[in-house]
Amino acid sequence: MATILDGKLVRDAILASLKPRIERLTAERRPPGLAVVMVGSNPASEIYVRNKVKACAELGIAGEKHLPLDTVTTEELLFLVEALNRRPDIDGILIQLPLPEHIDQQQVLASIDPSKDVDGFHPCSVGDLVANRPGFRACTPAGVMRLLEYYGIPIAGKDAVVVGRSDIVGKPMAFLLLHAHATVTICHSKTANLAEQCRRADILIAAMGRPAFLTADFIKPGAVVVDVGINRLRTPEQVDRVFPGDPQRLAELEEKGSVIVGDVHPEAFSQASFYTPVPGGVGPLTIAMLMSNTVDSAERRLGIRGSS
């Protein structure tokens, strides 16, 4: 029987450990401050941003939203980031991605003060990651590492395969596993013999954003399978392809307008020793790690030594 890696459990442990640190910062100086910037309206981003600001409120972090219209120019966005860089009460700045096409994303991310780069996307943070120097790590891959650590899953000497090469998940994930002494392979849409590559994996990270793509034949029996994908099935045909003859899922589609599935086919998890469910696996950890990075930043900027 495969064991579930419960992201909510680990999220709760992370958030509980942050509470006393936030209380101390607030009592001695001020609450940590996080600014979240979202340009325009994108339904998925809106949910993420709402949840990020809600998590701040629940923990006692001063979270604020900045919502420029999608007609904003790169220059105007740079002006906003500069203003946030200068504010002493802001410890973290997050630019929700993706940005509209007409915005120079690289320039905007590079304009963030690296000491406030709680998302880990600034070129300085990326360099710190690659060189294995201390610095902010991208939240989702950092959350995956916490999950593996919490469950005592050994990484050193293991074959890890990361499917997906995004700047947000795939690449940072590969470096974190490499620094934990795994032998890492990065696969992507042009990889030859993808199933064969995946079957070599003791630790398989699925992060390519293709619904239920990795089927049982991609998974080595006994592998640890981490599914970072969050995909929405929106038609009865799509639902039936992944969950054939499942009236509960069709009812869910009717009620909610979509059914969420990861990059790993639900039936494939039976091959694994440990696996993350979707939803409830990796998802809850991204925000927990954002909160953790924000508290780390506040402590560093205020010269208060953290308890961790």
**Residues at the interface with ligand GUN (CB under 6 A):** 94-97, 119, 139-140, 168, 286
Sheet containing 224-227: order of strands: 3-4, 274-275, 224-227, 203-206, 159-163, 183-187
CB of 208 to ligand GUN, least distance (A): 14
What are the φ and ψ backbone dihedral angles of 186, each rounded to 5 degrees?
-105, 125
Closest to ligand GUN by CB, 276 vs 286, is: 286
Residue nearest to ligand GUN (CB): 97
Residue 137 vs 158, nearer CB to ligand GUN: 137
The number of helices, as runs of H, and strands, as runs of E, in the chain is 11, 11
User: For residues 230 and 280, is the Cβ–Cβ distance under 8 A?
Assistant: no
User: Is 52 annotated as catalytic?
Assistant: yes
For residue 42, the minimal CB distance to ligand GUN (Å) is 9
Exactly one of 52, 116, 158, 171 is catalytic; name it.
Answer: 52
Closest CB 275 distance from ligand GUN, rounded Å? 21
Contact 213, 194 (CB under 8 A): no
| 89 part of the active site | no
User: In terms of CB distance, is 5 or 95 closer to ligand GUN?
Assistant: 95
Residue 258: alpha-carbon gap to chain centroid:
21
Helix (H) or strand (E) holding 11: helix 7-28
Strands (DSSP E) found in 96-242: 159-163, 183-187, 203-206, 224-227, 231-233
Q: How far is the CB of 173 from ligand GUN (least distance, A)?
A: 12
Closer CB to ligand GUN, 169 or 223, in the complex: 169
Of the listed 117, 119, 128, 263, which one is catalytic? 119
User: Which residue numbers are catalytic?
Assistant: 52, 96, 119
